[in-house]
A and B are shown apart, each in its own frame.
Chain A
Amino acid sequence: MSWNRKDLITIEELSSEEINTLFETADAFKKVLGRKTAKTPALRGKNVVNLFFENSTRTRVAFEMAAKRLSADVTSLDMKTSSTAKGETLRDTVENIRALAADIIIIRHSAPGSAGYIAKILDIPVLNAGDGAHEHPTQALLDCFTLREKWGDLKGRKIAILGDILYSRVARSNIWAMNKLGAEVTLVGPSTLVPREFERLGAKVSHDLKSALADKDAVMLLRIQHERQNASAFPSLNEYTSMFGLNADRFSWLKKDAIIMHPGPINRGVEIDSDLADSSQSVILEQVTNGLAVRMAALYLCNGGAAEAAIA
């Protein structure tokens, strides 16, 4: 076991040993999930607060269910119309929640660095459920956990991440995680969404779909939006799909048994053909299931772990 962290804020700061510890813990929890009474007492009596400043039903529900499976009491707060709108600072908000006897805080916030900022303020575990375009550590962990289940490990594997990389916390966390686990990452998409600067993070950058997919073991698609920041990054969703959308023809460019991933929610017919998303090579729903085990492991480890008995 190697895990001495109060918080889970970034993949950048994790060692590969820590990632593997988390995976082993998630393995154990996945077994628990397969049982008839799929619940453990590991966080009994703990108050877990889901603090979501951004809409994300998926991630919020996944954390909620993970905490409940650990027997914690869960409160989910939709902060969209709260603190900031009222002129309260993030510090004030989280100090108030701490004062209400919160034991663990899970935060989703649009500002990069915000989860790390409150982790420094609070003496309780803070889990980052996505801080702007910075990191989304549990997503990367569940992605890599899913690939590890398929392949045994990620060493020497080649993975393409395709889509809106520039604004994607999922891409950033996955680059860190996959590199630490020995995989090679290629980022693909239009030049306006996949800047060269990512090369210094240890990823390859390509704007040519065919050559980028040619020798890959897996392709991870990212949701494409054509609003806000992206409005001027590419001409239209149609243009994007015609240049970079994944369809059966283009999927054949990958290695034969290549895996398709997507953190969801999917834009069917935009970044990926609908049939392909439902195909046997897609692990999109497995990702969701594994997200539960991985988040249970993250909550459990940041809470200081406990006797192995708590898992079994």
Chain B
Amino acid sequence: MPRCTIIKNGRIVDPKNNRDEAADLYILDGKIASKPSNEILDTAEIIDAQGLVVSPGLVDLHVHFRVPGQKHKETIRTGTSAAAAGGFTSVVCMPNTSPAVDNAGTVQLIKDIVDKEGVVNVFPTGTITVGRQGEALAPTGSLSRMGIVAISDGGKCVQNAGLMRRALQYAHMFNVPVIDHCQDYSLSADGVMNEGFVSTKLGLRGIHKAAEDIIVARDITLSTHTGAHIHLQHISSKSAVDIIRRAKARGINVTAEVTPHHLALTDSEVESFNTNFKMNPPLREEEDRIALLEALEDGTIDCIATGHAPHTDYEKDVEFDYAPFGVIGLETALSISLAQLYHSKRLSLLGTLSLLTSRPAEILKLNKGTLSEGADADVTLFDPEETWTPQFKKFFSKSSNSPWIGRELKGKVKKTLVAGKLVFDGQKILAD
């Protein structure tokens, strides 16, 4: 007899199938199924989803799990637990580990650890260049054979345009998308926050938007000439949005993501010198924030990705200049996205969830992010109205570097299932 689970009385929202209705969801042996026979139904485990949204498990194209090399910040266990608690069932982890993922052996190592400790699906990426040094191409073919889903220099940007062109040409041969952190170093230099009024006032060194815009334009130009798929990470500036919008109108093979922080926050937060607002690219200004929201509405930016970047509290508890860039995001992403898009009435629930499920899955051709019959039963149940307040040291992530500590959020994950198995029950992780 197949193993059966019924999720009853929920509001099923499946963007891939444009489905938003009150219905029951059936899971048979880890796959989404049609209504089974009464005989099977009698044995089914029942999950009551009264008042809850039943969504495809969320998909995050941009997380840093710090393994191998920096277990003090995060492990595959804690990172995937944070994902499950945030409603994410599939994540793409960046290759800026130590050592970097520039060889097949390291991919294998990560896969082995994920098999042992992973709570959700983890898709590794490889680097663009050897050691992320921006000097020589990493073995994209071998990495691809090992199952990486894209290449990226994760947190670094290849500065040499000639090398980047070769990377795109070469990766295109294997159908491997190239993911870029867009930043021209001659313009970002030793900046620590957005260059603008606030940096001028605080005397902090700025990172000008032009540093992002120039590489966005460069990458789009190189994609135009190579045909390769370029995916632009954490877009933060209004002017970069404009460049992408025009490129898409010309049919260029470019996709882009935005983080929840850049949708919700501006550089005025840095006035507190709180290092949990230090990230790269930096929080920009209100006109940028609005442009990013509009870009999600009109499809210029394709999806939301957290950029989940754990750092320990002692690493962040230093002068703003010396704190590492980056904040965690897996456990707050859904609430922030709902607040900025759904609760603010910019997008429907279907539209909002498409940015966290079907769209990101399509970008990297992951067979995820839908409740279609036959799909893996990765499912997230959440209450869009329930409020909660993130607390220091109360995250499932090993790190607590969240800008949302102490701020009330709306929208709470109640259950997360991976391949039909409950991995998060709203309180704790139920793996193994």
With A89-B314, A117-B273 as known contacts, state yes or no: A112 contacts B321, CB within 8 Å: yes
A166 to B206, CA, bound (A): 11
Chain A positions 114 through 157: 1 when the CB is less than 8 Å from some CB of chain B, otherwise 0: 10110000000000000111110000000000000000000000
A231 to B199, CA, bound (A): 20
A135 to B271, CA, bound (A): 13
Residue of B nearest to A131 (CB): B203
Q: Which of B201, B205, B317 has the most CB of A within 10 A?
A: B201
Residues of chain B within 8 A (CB-CB) of A134 are 202-204
A117 → chain B closest CB, angstroms? 6
Report whether A113 and B202 are in contact in the complex, using a CB–CB cutoff of 8 Å. yes
Residues of chain A within 8 A (CB-CB) of B123 are none
8 Å CB contacts to A: which residues of B198-246? 199-205
8 Å CB contacts to A: which residues of B329-383? none
A265 to B385, CA, bound (A): 60
Report whether A197 and B197 are in contact in the complex, using a CB–CB cutoff of 8 Å. yes
Residues of chain B within 8 A (CB-CB) of A109 are 319
Residues of chain A within 8 A (CB-CB) of B321 are 110-112, 132
Report whether B203 and A89 are in contact in the complex, using a CB–CB cutoff of 8 Å. no
Report whether A132 and B200 are in contact in the complex, using a CB–CB cutoff of 8 Å. no
Report the tally of A-B residue pairs with Cβ distances under 8 A: 57
Residues of chain B within 8 A (CB-CB) of A84 are 322
Residues of chain B within 8 A (CB-CB) of A198 are 200
A89 to B317, CA, bound (A): 8
Q: Which of A113, A167, A200 has the most CB of B within 10 A?
A: A113
Chain A positions 74 through 118: 1 when the CB is less than 8 Å from some CB of chain B, otherwise 0: 000000000010000111000000000000000001111110110
Report whether B273 and A113 are in contact in the complex, using a CB–CB cutoff of 8 Å. yes
Report whether A113 and B319 are in contact in the complex, using a CB–CB cutoff of 8 Å. yes
Report whether B317 and A91 are in contact in the complex, using a CB–CB cutoff of 8 Å. yes
A201 at the interface (CB under 8 A from B): yes
Residues of chain A within 8 A (CB-CB) of B205 are 229
B207 → chain A closest CB, angstroms? 14
Chain B positions 185 through 207: 1 when the CB is less than 8 Å from some CB of chain A, otherwise 0: 00000000000110111111100
Report whether B319 and A117 are in contact in the complex, using a CB–CB cutoff of 8 Å. yes
Report whether B317 and A195 are in contact in the complex, using a CB–CB cutoff of 8 Å. no
A116 to B319, CA, bound (A): 10
Residues of chain B within 8 A (CB-CB) of A89 are 314, 317-318
Report whether A135 and B318 are in contact in the complex, using a CB–CB cutoff of 8 Å. no
With A89-B314, A112-B273, A117-B273 as known contacts, state yes or no: A201 contacts B200, CB within 8 Å: yes
Chain B positions 293 through 326: 1 when the CB is less than 8 Å from some CB of chain A, otherwise 0: 0000000000000000000001001111110000
A29 to B196, CA, bound (A): 41
Residues of chain A within 8 A (CB-CB) of B318 are 89-91
Contact of A112 among B196, B197, B317, B320 (CB under 8 A): B320
Report whether A111 and B320 are in contact in the complex, using a CB–CB cutoff of 8 Å. yes
Contact of A116 among B199, B200, B273, B314 (CB under 8 A): B273
Report whether A113 and B320 are in contact in the complex, using a CB–CB cutoff of 8 Å. yes
A144 to B318, CA, bound (A): 33
Residue of B nearest to A114 (CB): B319
A169 at the interface (CB under 8 A from B): yes
Residue of B nearest to A169 (CB): B203
Report whether B319 and A111 are in contact in the complex, using a CB–CB cutoff of 8 Å. yes
A169 to B314, CA, bound (A): 28
A172 at the interface (CB under 8 A from B): yes
A52 → chain B closest CB, angstroms? 15
Residues of chain A within 8 A (CB-CB) of B317 are 89, 91
A172 to B318, CA, bound (A): 23
A111 to B321, CA, bound (A): 6
B233 → chain A closest CB, angstroms? 27
A199 to B318, CA, bound (A): 31
Report whether B273 and A132 are in contact in the complex, using a CB–CB cutoff of 8 Å. no
A112 to B203, CA, bound (A): 6
Report whether A135 and B203 are in contact in the complex, using a CB–CB cutoff of 8 Å. yes
A219 → chain B closest CB, angstroms? 22
Lowest 4 A-B CB distances belong to which pairs?
Answer: A133-B203, A113-B273, A111-B319, A134-B203
Q: Could you name 10 residue pairs across A and B whose Cβ atoms are closer than 8 Å?
A: A91-B317, A112-B202, A112-B203, A116-B273, A132-B203, A134-B202, A134-B204, A169-B203, A197-B196, A197-B201
Which of A's residues lie within 8 Å of B, judged by CB?
Answer: 84, 89-91, 109-114, 116-117, 131-135, 166-167, 169, 172, 195, 197-198, 200-201, 229
14 A-B pairs besides A109-B319, A111-B321 with CB distance below 8 A are A84-B322, A90-B319, A111-B319, A112-B203, A112-B204, A113-B320, A134-B202, A166-B200, A195-B200, A197-B201, A198-B200, A200-B197, A201-B201, A229-B205
